[in-house]
Amino acid sequence: MEMFEDSPEDFSSYFEHTPDLVCIADRKGFFKSVNIAVVNKLGYTKEELFSRPIFSFIFPEDIPITERTRLEMYEGKPLVNFENRYITKAGEIVWLHWTSFYLPHKQSVFAIAKDITYQKKIEKEVEEKYQRFKKLALHFKGNIEKDRQQFAVELHEELAQLAAVIKLNLHSVTNSHPELSPSAKEKIEHATYLSELMIKTIRKISFEISPYMLDYDCLRGALTILCNDFSVLHEIPCLLDADFNEDNISKEIKIDFFRVCQEALKNVLNHSEAKSVTITIEESEHKVSLTIFDNGKGFDPKKQRQKSGLSNIRDRVASINGQFNISSKPGEGTVIDVVVDKKI
């Protein structure tokens, strides 16, 4: 090959017999020299390869990125680990993995490629299997959430209504029978108080099982109620800092973020001895992140046995292909970070 004519070693023979595709192209975008591997892989004769622009052999969808990369190479940026598709003379598509560099003094591009078509086929099969499993997981999670929703509705609409009727009947008994003894009135008042408590408890449980706010795709509203209830019931301030657009996040992510926060707050209550909790949600162009910080006693993640609460969070994040990280030190609190793609 021309560029190695003055070499002390016969590189031309090596490049002609290597299984890798080796070629030289000019700045106009034409092949000037190719080894036998290029001919065998693409199915064209050397004359056919030299007579047409290189872009005529490239899969149409890959032409724009190939052109951009080629121009960057002319400006001095080596082309490494670049992949694109070529169309063979028989009409088949082959994936090639390129390493190329520009030789200014010869106004030529020297390039070596490996055929990675088989690897791409395997990657596609793996991706298809992953997508099937992901859809299956989302299907199961969706059914679970539907069951939760139905159960929450039954709790709220039936049990809470029955408790409300009992409360009204107790008021009616007190108002229509003024002759009742003080002891009887005291018991009725106590029963009325218990019925009110039952109604509040049923509504709280119903919300925890399936927050109605998520039916309207309102994660911020659901987390606001969750934080307020946690603060009031346990006297531990729980602050929410949610800087995101509800329309940019899928309903599945909203449900999973809510469940992660529920589980994290349970861990805070049962283990951390925290004085406050902060929940932060932020979004970037393609990602949305959830951070939960508590200023509790913390722990050494290396020495701590895997807690079921953390395992539940980790598994839930994995189910939406998210990134999970936990940072904690004794006496310095705990930070849970979750990052996922906006659309799963």
pLDDT at 305: 56
Give the Cα-Cα-Cα angle 274, 276, 279 (nearest 5 degrees).
115
Determine the residue type at 51: S
- Residue 29 scores a pLDDT above 90: yes
Determine the residue type at 111: A
Which tens digit of pLDDT belongs to each residue from 125-179?
Answer: 998 887 787 777 776 777 777 777 677 666 666 777 777 788 788 878 878 888 8
Nearest to 212 by CA among 250, 158, 155, 163: 155
Q: State how far the Cα of 46 lies from the Cα of 30, in Å rounded to an integer.
A: 12
Q: State how far the Cα of 25 lies from the Cα of 34, in Å rounded to an integer.
A: 9
Q: State how far the Cα of 167 lies from the Cα of 189, in Å rounded to an integer.
A: 10
SS3 286: coil
Q: Say what angle helices 182-209 and 219-234 make with each other, to 10 degrees.
A: 140
Residue whose structure tokens are 């078509």:
117
Is the pLDDT higher at 292 or at 304?
A: 292
Host H or E run for residue 111: strand 108-115
Which tens digit of pLDDT belongs to each residue from 70-105?
Answer: 999 998 888 899 999 999 999 999 999 999 999 998
Is the pLDDT higher at 243 or at 277?
A: 277
Host H or E run for residue 105: none
Q: State how far the Cα of 309 lies from the Cα of 303, in Å rounded to an integer.
A: 16
pLDDT at 22: 94
Instruction: Residue 340: count other Cβ atoms within 10 Å of its Cβ.
Output: 22
What is the Cβ-side half-sphere exposure of residue 9, based on CA atoms within 13 angstroms? 3
Residue whose structure tokens are 């925290």:
274
Task: Give whole-number Cα distances, 282 to 242, 245, 276, 287, in Å.
Answer: 6, 9, 20, 9
Which tens digit of pLDDT belongs to each residue from 266-283?
Answer: 999 888 889 999 999 999
pLDDT at 342: 80
Nearest to 28 by CA among 111, 112, 108: 108
Nearest to 243 by CA among 225, 220, 274: 220
How do beta strands 287-294 and 93-103 pair? Answer: unpaired
Residue whose structure tokens are 């895997």:
306
Contact 52, 89 (CB under 8 A): no
Contact 54, 90 (CB under 8 A): no
Q: State how far the Cα of 307 lies from the Cα of 319, in Å rounded to an integer.
A: 18
State the Cα torsion 199-204-208-209 to the nearest 10°.
Answer: 0
Residue 250 confidence class, pLDDT cut points 50, 70, 90: confident
- Residue 2 scores a pLDDT above 90: no
Contact 20, 114 (CB under 8 A): yes
